[in-house]
Amino acid sequence: MPTNPDWVKALKPSGRQGSQCLELERAKSNVDVDKLASHLFTDDALQRQANILNILTSDPVFDKSQNYFRGRNERIEASLARGKRLRQLEVKHKWSKEEFNCANELISEPTPYGLHASMFLVTLREQGTPEQHEKFLRKAENYEYVGCYAQTELGHGSNVRGLETTATWNPEDKTFTLHSPHLTASKWWIGSLGKAANHAVVMAQLILDGKNYGPHPFVVQIRDLKTHEPLENVHVGDIGPKFGYNTMDNGFLLLNRVKIPHINMLARFSSVDPNTSKYVRPSNPSLVYGTLTWVRSTIVLKSGSTLARGVTIAIRYCAVRRQFKDRDAPEEEERENQVLNYTMVQQRLLPLLAASYALHFTGRGMIELYDANQAAMNKKADVGKASEDSNTTPRSAGAEELNPGSDLLADLHSTSCALKAYASTTAGEGLEACRRACGGHGYSSFSGIGSWYADYLPTLTWEGDNYMLTQQVSRYLLKTARAVLKNSTKTGNFNAINSDNDTTALLKAYKRRADVGAAFDVIGDDSELVAAYAWRVAHLTFEAHRHRDIEKRSWNSLLVDFWRLSTAHAQYMVVKNFHQALESDSLKSSLSQETQTVLHALFRLYALHTLERESSEFFQSAACTIRQIQLARTNAVPALLEEIRPHAVRLVDAWKFSDWQLDSSLGRHDGGVYEDMFRRASEDNPLNNVVFDPYPDSNVLFKKDNRDDLRSKL
Amino acid sequence: MPTNPDWVKALKPSGRQGSQCLELERAKSNVDVDKLASHLFTDDALQRQANILNILTSDPVFDKSQNYFRGRNERIEASLARGKRLRQLEVKHKWSKEEFNCANELISEPTPYGLHASMFLVTLREQGTPEQHEKFLRKAENYEYVGCYAQTELGHGSNVRGLETTATWNPEDKTFTLHSPHLTASKWWIGSLGKAANHAVVMAQLILDGKNYGPHPFVVQIRDLKTHEPLENVHVGDIGPKFGYNTMDNGFLLLNRVKIPHINMLARFSSVDPNTSKYVRPSNPSLVYGTLTWVRSTIVLKSGSTLARGVTIAIRYCAVRRQFKDRDAPEEEERENQVLNYTMVQQRLLPLLAASYALHFTGRGMIELYDANQAAMNKKADVGKASEDSNTTPRSAGAEELNPGSDLLADLHSTSCALKAYASTTAGEGLEACRRACGGHGYSSFSGIGSWYADYLPTLTWEGDNYMLTQQVSRYLLKTARAVLKNSTKTGNFNAINSDNDTTALLKAYKRRADVGAAFDVIGDDSELVAAYAWRVAHLTFEAHRHRDIEKRSWNSLLVDFWRLSTAHAQYMVVKNFHQALESDSLKSSLSQETQTVLHALFRLYALHTLERESSEFFQSAACTIRQIQLARTNAVPALLEEIRPHAVRLVDAWKFSDWQLDSSLGRHDGGVYEDMFRRASEDNPLNNVVFDPYPDSNVLFKKDNRDDLRSKL
């Protein structure tokens, strides 16, 4: 639109300016933002981020100013251009994996190369033989082969064993025939498949001599390397617009008896002997659980920073925004109150601030545990040996049966399932709560929360649907309970449950104490607060055990109980990890006492606010009394909100999101909320380059249309 | 894209077809869909809907097939065309208000005329004098003046008293000067302002001789009637893209000392004497509360059908979709289980099904009460008389101070606030729960839930922010409690609280019974269940009263308690209204016994599921025992889910949404879910008309681009 007239340019927001508001906020607290950031991310990571940000912001292809205005076609076109440039920059600057990931985080939207650079390469690398690496992986790493990982089908998501696509072995010419027998066999939701990929790793039921050996991975070329048109008998395309993630070309794929050579079955873990046509059974499948565990732990870690983006935006805006005078303020008070001063707003936002830290520390704890365990396992592992009694196949998620008892990896895997479900739900729903806490302006795209939220939501479904996962967690907890009940002489101790198998220990501790009763001092003692969470898990586990094993109730009738149990387990893990992080030497040595005190208040707020929300399970299990819960609600939580309030802005500053990354009017570091909203709406908005004809009698729609071709900007 | 090849066209979904699934579902239940629909909506309304649907679907401008693919610019252009055609059809067919509204509901997205046809016309009509009707309303009704209602500002939403725009009276030339003194004074979020309106009703602070008389409405011309360009010193435009509602041109408006004549201040309720320059005080402001009450009651009624759309889609899809075998099914069972058979899915969806009915009956109950009250009031009203002691102005929402005690309108108004907040939150969050219950496909735009949810979300903020409103409710409840405590001799009775002032009665009943204690049979007796909800409200009210009046705690420190109190009050009203609807003669005479039994199960599910979720307040108030809550959770609710399950599809059929209205692959009445998903993705999807160049070394983005100009389809 024409630039704003001079009288508009001269206008300022009324009252105290946003920049002053945030300056005052930052002056009220001594939380050491830089040291805290360094503790959260390491100095190296922060320096890396600054370097990459510098490269990206100086390249016009990454200009974000039109992002919110573009429709899907323009967005994916821009995203393709960005994906290409990212790859060029990766080569040019010899970026490490961390640097490449950092660039993607700063851009904050997926590109059509997203699944190529992750799952396609990872699967080729992990499940291919050296010969297959030579044939497929090298070209994929050079982007000659652009690929994707095609598992989910139109009719099958969570249940991988139910996939319909078949791969039938033809002994006569030593090929596989890949086929989609039904419409529901169409691969669906596959990232990077719709438009970008020329190859796909296709998960298909392996059929040998009429017998089904379950889903296995096959490399299938789907498009011509030159024209990029689909090959014959391949029907492939984009699945259309979605609630979010619209810069990604999620695709569909149907195969009509497409033949591929023997070498295209990824054969590191299982294979077909080309001469005997016999199936060679998979070796040690637990390595694959390891990968899944790592992926889920990463989701937990990222859920913290994902939520923190929304919290950063909402807290900064609520510190700038004023609305109503305080009802109890003296008559002469002219100024309206900062929205962040209202207890109702604090109650909505500060527990989410606490959760963002809690999830970050939990994710970090998980990854440390995973790394330690992986190192120990690699010593013991006998990778080459085929385990004859196992029927399971690598990366076939339906096969996530776990070993009972004291297996540390099984314990870690179960915890990662529970935490993935809980953490991503918390982050997704928390982002929407942050958006609403911004009032009407939260609904504007310029808030920067809506699109971030919409893009994040698939995380609640992929890598294990959040409701489905709770069954796996409960299955593991039930098995552990059975083992404990069989062998109940050994004792456990709530304050020493960091030993090898956490779950076994907490169930034993409960059994030991069941006769003397619990009386945890949840308000006065942090260790007791953590112990109360463990107690609740044990109580719910033995209750589920009674329903299933003694009362013989059907699995289906217990699904709601299982979901509650898994959630309880996840909450215990979060509380425990947050508490451990606060007790760690690295934290104590790197942060000032005042900063530690504020983090401690965040821990207590997270734990007591959650306890209060889940109160009925806490007192039904007798982990604490109704009176304690009342006290948490009426005294402890309000006092913690008040204690944390002055530090809120600094606590979000420590996440170190750059303005460019947030791309939010409301969350600007300098508080220039209204100026930024106005500029984007008036000057950047292409709709203001047209003039409507508003009269219904006229079928002319636009009296004037001065819009540029949006694509000319790419 | 090229049409699907023949081998693709020949593919069918595997297993039992969706159409068979839904046929079987419908055969399992005797719920009389047509009679139930007729009871919910009346035959007239259903016939009207069928007629209008016929007109709309035969007009190409209303073709929905490209809706989900369009970006904002194309969508608002299509919506402008539709708005014009709607008006042409309204004239041509001489549509009533109901018919016009029905057409808008079927189209299911706002047009740029949305606020013209509602708030602009309503405000002119209600707040204008006969002379002003002649001057403004006639032209507005003919769409010569296209208008909007400009209240909210960039810096002020809920707090209307804090608006910054001024209207200063100039006695010398008998004009007002409208002015935006700061950037934050910019009108913002104003529907139909951004591109369509040539007039606005502007709410501005009336300044007479230097004194501020509060916000008042002024008619301001903003664009030239011929060129539609902004007038001088008017800066107006669209505020940009939003999370939803993108077919509406929400706008901004800045005024630089714009003069308007005396007649342009809407003067029915208050005015400036042009000769003496004196302020003439507003007459009976309660009539305006009446309008607000009506608007909010309508939101409650609509929240039921809004949620029902999501529930319809999710339940139909979950009846078609199969995933996993039942874990306890016999080995030989080959077929996977319908997703709707899983108790976890039932627990997520069936309470929402119950809520959709509950909210519908509650909204209807509210509107009936409002109509009855309005009729009674109109008899008594002394509209012309100015009330000298009131300072409040019509439609200044900040002024919603209510009369204490027994005023029926105040009671109704307070209830409408509580219910608006609760009902719209329930519908909004329920829609997202429905979307997630559809698994991965819920994320596709073709689910039809995402855009509906995104368009609905502003309802949680407008007509009173859902959190802000809870303060008004609590203020009223506190006042009523004070009146009851002052005059506590009269008795109330929980089973006769349908008398004039419900709130007073329930507080009295609580007081009377406080000494003998409650022991409501919440599982065995429906009236007792309703009474337990009333008890909880009374308990929380007196608790809040103690905090505020006796302990003298600050208002701000009680906001979280107030929010809980208001929610409790709303839940009580919903349970009570649902119960009354089931007891009504009209329902009993028009529905079969079996249908009534199923509706009764829905009532109990809604009430017991809510009781279980809010359990801590129920037992802390001693409305019921912990054991009762455990029984509700472990026995009653699961039994109700099982009882309702076979009727689920018929219960959503009774809402009578046409496929055209739902525009959902997943929610199709015939169950043809997968065929519809595939057709939209493959054949309708414009992104499939381009071929990417996927190689990062090449800066070419598209090897081929066969997209039509989207606009050529309008």
Q: Which among B109, B153, B164, B463 is annotated as catalytic?
A: B463
**Residue of B85, B556, B702 to mutate when probing chain A, most A C-beta within 10 A:** B556
| Sheet hosting strand A187-190, strand order edge to edge | A187-190, A251-255, A234-238
Q: Residue B688 above 50 pLDDT?
A: yes
Nearest residue, CB atoms, B685 vs list A87, A238, A675 = A238
Q: Which chain A residues contact residue B154 at CB under 8 A?
A: 13, 674, 677-678
Q: Choose among A229, A327, A693: nearest Cβ to B691.
A: A229
Answer yes or no: do A626 and B619 touch at CB < 8 A.
yes
Mean pLDDT for all residues in chain A: 90
Cβ of A458 within 8 Å of Cβ of B465? The answer is no
Q: How many helices and strands, by DSSP H and E, does chain A display?
A: 26, 13
Q: Which of A276, A360, A350 is nearest to A318 (CA)?
A: A350
Average pLDDT, chain B: 90
Q: What three-state secondary structure class fits A51? A: helix
The ranges of chain B annotated as CATH 2.40.110.10 are 120-282
Q: Find residue A190's DSSP bridge partners.
A: A251
Picking from B443, B557, B563 by the largest number of A CB atoms within 10 A of its own CB, the best residue to mutate is B443
User: Whole-angstrom Cα distance, residue A414 to residue A405?
Assistant: 12
pLDDT band at A156 (very low <50, low <70, confident <90, very high): confident
Does A304 lie at the interface with B, CB-CB under 8 angstroms? no
The CA distance from A532 to A655, in Å, is 30
Q: CB distance B692–A88 less than 8 Å?
A: no
> Residue A97 has what pLDDT?
94
- Chain A hits for B552, Cβ within 8 Å: none
Reported as a pLDDT band with limits 50, 70 and 90, residue B507 is: very high
Q: Is the pLDDT score of A498 beyond 50?
A: no
Pairing verdict, β B175-179 and B258-261: antiparallel
What pLDDT band is residue B367 in, cutting at 50, 70 and 90? Answer: very high
Facing residue for B457 by CB, picked from A194, A443, A458? A443
Interchain pair A445, B342: CB under 8 A: no
Query: What pLDDT score does A386 carry?
Result: 39
Which of B343, B322, B185, B310 lies closest to B255, judged by CA? B185
Over the stretch B628-655, which tens digit does the pLDDT of each residue have? 999 999 999 999 999 999 999 999 999 9
The partner residue sitting opposite A242, judged by closest CB among B164, B445, B680, is B445
Q: Which of A428, A479, A486 is nearest to A457 (CA)?
A: A428
Q: What pLDDT does residue A65 have?
A: 92
- List A271's β-bridge partners, or say none: A280
Quick check: A406 pLDDT over 50?
A: no
B238: which strand partners? B251
Termini Cα distance of chain A: 20
Q: What is the pLDDT of residues B177-232, one digit of tens each?
A: 999 999 999 999 999 999 999 999 999 999 999 999 999 999 999 999 999 999 99
Q: Strand pairing partners for A62? A: none
A494-503, B588-597, B701-710: least confident range: A494-503
Give the nearest partner residue to B159 out of A181, A336, A560, using CB atoms.
A336
Three-class secondary structure of residue A221 per DSSP: strand
**Residue A274 pLDDT class (50, 70, 90 cuts):** very high
Residue A545 phi/psi, 5-degree rounding, is -60, -45
Residues of A classed as catalytic: 463
Q: What is the dihedral of CA A112, A113, A114, A117, to 10 degrees?
A: 170
Q: Is the pLDDT of residue B304 over 80?
A: yes
- Give me the CATH topology for the region A119-282: Butyryl-CoA Dehydrogenase, subunit A; domain 2 (2.40.110)
Assembly ipTM: 0.91
Q: Which two tokens stand for residue B405?
A: 């005690």
Number of neighbouring beta carbons within 10 Å of residue A566: 28
Q: Alpha-carbon distance A272 to A206, whole Å? A: 9
Contact yes or no for A702 and B68 at CB 8 A: no
Q: What is the pLDDT of residues A183-203, one digit of tens each?
A: 999 999 999 999 999 999 999
CATH of the structural domain B120-282, one choice from 1.10.490.10, 2.40.110.10, 3.30.930.10, 1.10.1040.50: 2.40.110.10
Residue B390 has pLDDT above 70, yes or no: no
Question: A696-700: which pairs have CB atoms within 8 A and are 24 or more residues apart?
Answer: A696/B83, A696/B84, A696/B87, A696/B88, A696/B113, A696/B143, A697/B88, A697/B143, A698/B84, A699/B81, A699/B84
Q: How confident is the model at residue B439 (pLDDT cuts 50, 70, 90)?
A: very high
Model confidence at A655: pLDDT above 50: yes
Interface of B with A in 511-570 (CB under 8 A): 554-560, 562-563
Angle between helices B637-644 and B593-613 (to 10 degrees): 140
pLDDT digits 0-9 by tens, A437-484: 999 999 999 999 999 999 999 999 888 889 999 999 999 999 999 999
| Residues in B touching A15 (Cβ below 8 Å) | 184
> What fold does the segment set A289-385+401-486+501-653 form as a domain?
Butyryl-CoA Dehydrogenase, subunit A; domain 3 (1.20.140)
Asked if the Cβ–Cβ distance from B73 to A707 is below 8 Å, we say yes
Q: Does A702 touch chain B (CB under 8 A)?
A: yes
- By CA distance, what is A320's nearest residue in B? B155
Task: Report residue B710's pLDDT band, with 50, 70 and 90 as the boundaries.
Answer: very low
Give the integer Cα–Cα distance in Å for B264 and B255.
15
Chain B residues within 8 A of A245 when measuring between CB atoms: 443
Ranking A250-259, B395-404, B434-443 by mean pLDDT, the lowest is B395-404
Residues paired with residue B234 on neighbouring β-strands, in sequence order: B255
- B159, B253, B682, B703: best mutation site toward chain A, by most A Cβ within 10 Å? B682
Which residues of B fall within a CB distance of 8 Å from A450? 242-243
- Tokens representing B441 are 């496909």
Q: For the segment B534-576, what is each residue's pLDDT rounded down to a tens digit? A: 999 999 999 999 999 999 999 999 999 999 999 999 999 999 9
Percentage of chain B exceeding pLDDT 70: 91
- The boundaries of every CATH 1.20.140.10 domain in chain A are 289-385+401-486+501-653
Asked if A237 and B701 come within 8 Å (Cβ–Cβ), the reply is: no
Q: Can you point out the beta strands (E) in A53-150? A: 149-150
Q: What is the pTM of this model?
A: 0.92
Comma-separated ranges of CATH 2.40.110.10 domains in chain A: 119-282
Shortest CA gap B185–chain A (Å)? 8
Residue B386 has pLDDT above 50, yes or no: no
Q: Would you call A688 and B444 a contact, using CB atoms and an 8 Å cutoff?
A: no
* Radius of gyration (C-alpha) of chain B in whole angstroms: 28
Residue A1 contacts B, CB cutoff 8 Å: yes
A698 to chain B: which residues are within 8 Å by CB?
84
Sign of CA dihedral A258, A262, A265, A271: positive
Question: Mean pLDDT across the stretch A538-547?
Answer: 97
Q: What mean pLDDT is predicted for residues A419-432?
A: 97
Could you tell me the two tokens for A599? 């983090």
* Cβ contacts of B557 on chain A, cutoff 8 Å: 343, 638
Instruction: Please say if the pLDDT value at position B394 is more than 90.
Output: no
pLDDT band with cut points at 50, 70 and 90 for residue B380: low
Q: Tell whether the model's pLDDT for residue A390 goes beyond 50.
A: no
**Topology at the third CATH level for domain B289-383+393-653:** Butyryl-CoA Dehydrogenase, subunit A; domain 3 (1.20.140)
- Across the interface, whether the CB atoms of A71 and B71 are under 8 A apart is answered yes
If residue B704 lies in a helix (H) or strand (E), which one and from where to where?
strand B702-705
Element (H, E) at B150: strand B149-150
